[in-house]
Amino acid sequence: EPEVTQTPSHQVTQMGQEVILRCVPISNHLYFYWYRQILGQKVEFLVSFYNNEISEKSEIFDDQFSVERPDGSNFTLKIRSTKLEDSAMYFCASSGDRGTGNTIYFGEGSWLTVV
């Protein structure tokens, strides 16, 4: 069964450092997403991406965050200057279409710890 893959599975970084989280979405999917889950809290939407541009973003997704699809297969989330409160599990997801009726498939997650 096709799946969304993410690397690294766990990263520890110092506050203020830049982090890049990588994802390979399901190959025929066109819509890509990043979500995060802070420990003990619910899964929160960060951003969606389609046709090489951001289609929607949440208030969490401020200027320190950026997304990119540098080639035909990878989808990355960059956090420019990490803060302690960025520590969370970051989930990449993809879907074949957008909106109602379309299932979003999630990767295993990248656990980011900022120290």
Partner 1 sequence: DQQVKQNSPSLSVQEGRISILNCDYTNSMFDYFLWYKKYPAEGPTFLISISSIKDKNEDGRFTVFLNKSAKHLSLHIVPSQPGDSAVYFCAASEYNTDKLIFGTGTRLQVFP
Which residues of the chain form contacts with partner 1 (CB under 8 A)?
Answer: 4, 6, 31, 33, 35, 41-45, 48, 50, 55-56, 58, 89, 91, 93, 98-101, 103-109, 111
Least spacing, CB of residue 31 vs partner 1, in Å: 7
Least spacing, CB of residue 54 vs partner 1, in Å: 10
Q: Report residue 26 as tokens.
A: 């399901």
For partner 1, give the closer residue by CB, 13 or 60: 60
Q: Report residue 113 as tokens.
A: 């710890």
What is the b/e burial string over 1-38, where b = at least 16 CB atoms within 10 angstroms of the residue's CB? eeebebeeeebebeeeeebebebbbbeebebbbbbbee
CA 31 to chain centre: 12
Rounded Cα distance between 111 and 99, Å, is: 28
Least spacing, CB of residue 3 vs partner 1, in Å: 9
Within 10 A of 107 (CB to CB), how many other CB atoms are there?
23
Least spacing, CB of residue 15 vs partner 1, in Å: 23
For partner 1, give the closer residue by CB, 18 or 68: 68
For partner 1, give the closer residue by CB, 74 or 81: 74
For partner 1, give the closer residue by CB, 17 or 67: 67
